Amino acid sequence: QAWTNGINEASKMALLAWEKEMGIELVQINGQRRYGGPPPGWVGGPPPANTEVYIARLPQDIYENTLIPLFSSAGRLYEFRLMMTFSGLNRGFAYARYASRQDARSAIAAFHRFPLRRGCTIVVCWSTQKRELLVDGLGTSVSQWELEAMLQTVTEGICSVTLYASPSQKEAKLAVLKYRSHEAAALAKKALMEGNLRLGEEKMRVDWLDPQLKQKLQLCMEEPLSSWVQGDESPVVPPPLSLQNVLDCLNTLCWKYHLRTPLFMTKCVQVNPNGWQRFWYQVAIPGFHVPISGFMWISPDRQGQSNHEKAKGVAALHVLRVLGESLHSQLPAF
């Protein structure tokens, strides 16, 4: 836990003492600190849908040693998530997931407008459970597979990606991303925004999908440009686009145009406070006129692949695009 010394020190020490006394482990990752999911002693699967409440207007110097006992008094907690700043203060809101919908309803009845402190009443209501994100600012040259591959590199829990022609901008595309849960969508939104990611020339803009825009897209006469679905959303599940898949595509393209095997160099040049790593890469292709280089951000806390491997995969995607456009421009006109 990367806390800034001297900020709210007494409350932080009280939290640490409470954790030790209660034998509770709080895990902080990607700007939130989590208890449970499941908690100690939990038997069976996770609770059903619609059992989570949203808690807002929290004083920033209050922590789980106050909040978890309070919200546990309304019913059995499955999970409690407190959103955190880099300094170790909370961001003023949290989520509590209960064992049943009745427990969640009891928490709302007991604690909505509850005076947590003198002059400080909190808001407690049903969590909206938003699961869909809008990605705008995509150029017309962005392909479906390129977008899918990038999203698989930096986010988790994605169910579907649908690419549309932008209804408000000429020569532009937008994408609707659907995630398996509100938590997965919120983490993806944070990762995509903090990663300063680009596909093409423009920086991607990410926000929750507005219901009115969703309806407009659904009523649009044109079909979406393309869509893929994972998990429970469809009986047909395409294989994930792995590093080896991308390298095979790149090697095939090089072979087709009588180029030799690409040589990759990657180097981590920066790490931000949230764990993201900025990589420089350069790819030299014997027979191609210039090396291809650039920078990218790679997300933390993903299993099964080193950050250098992930950087190599993203670099290969970029090289595929640049190489494809360059070779296409050299073809004779008919």
The Cα 16–Cα 157 span in angstroms is: 31
The CATH number for 5-126, chosen from 3.40.50.460, 3.30.70.250, 3.30.70.330, 3.30.930.10, is 3.30.70.330
Alpha helices in the chain (DSSP H): 9-22, 64-72, 101-111, 144-154, 182-194, 211-219, 243-256, 307-329
CATH number of 132-217: 3.30.70.330
In this prediction, residue 325 carries a pLDDT of: 64
DSSP 115-177: EEETTEE-EEEE-----EEEEEEEETT--HHHHHHHHHHH---EEEEEEEE-SSSTTEEEEEE
- Residue with the bigger pLDDT between 77 and 316: it is 77
DSSP letter at 210 equals: P
CB neighbours of residue 206 within 10 Å = 21
Check residue 166 and give its pLDDT.
79
Q: With contact defined as beta carbons under 8 Å apart, do 147 and 175 qualify?
A: yes
- CB of 86 closer than 8 Å to CB of 4: yes
List the one residue out of 257, 292, 297 whose CA is nearest residue 275. Answer: 297
pLDDT tens for 61-110 read: 999 999 999 999 999 999 999 998 888 899 999 999 999 999 999 999 99
* First vs last C-alpha separation in the chain: 62
Domain edges within the chain: 5-126, 132-217, 243-326
Most confident of 7-16, 105-114, 238-247, 307-316: 105-114
Name 176's bridge partners: 134, 162
| pLDDT at residue 222, rounded to an integer | 42
pLDDT for 195: 66
The pLDDT of 45-67, averaged and rounded, is 92
Within 10 Å of residue 171's Cβ, how many Cβ atoms?
A: 9
Q: Which fold has domain 243-326?
A: Double Stranded RNA Binding Domain (3.30.160)
Mean pLDDT of 34-38: 92
Own/partner pairs, 283-288, CB within 8 angstroms, 24+ separation: 283/315, 283/316, 283/319, 285/254, 285/259, 285/260, 285/319, 285/323, 286/259, 286/260, 286/261, 287/254, 287/258, 287/259, 287/260, 288/259, 288/323, 288/326
Q: What is the pLDDT of residue 232?
A: 42
**Do 299 and 309 form a contact (C-beta atoms < 8 A)?**
no
pLDDT of residue 290: 82
- The number of C-alpha atoms within 13 Å of 154 and in the hemisphere containing its C-beta is 26
Q: Phi, psi (5° rounding) for residue 180?
A: -70, -20
| Position 188 confidence tier, pLDDT thresholds 50, 70, 90 | confident
Which pLDDT belongs to residue 315?
A: 82
Domains 5-126 and 132-217 share a fold: yes
Q: Work out the pLDDT band at 322, boundaries 50, 70, 90.
A: confident
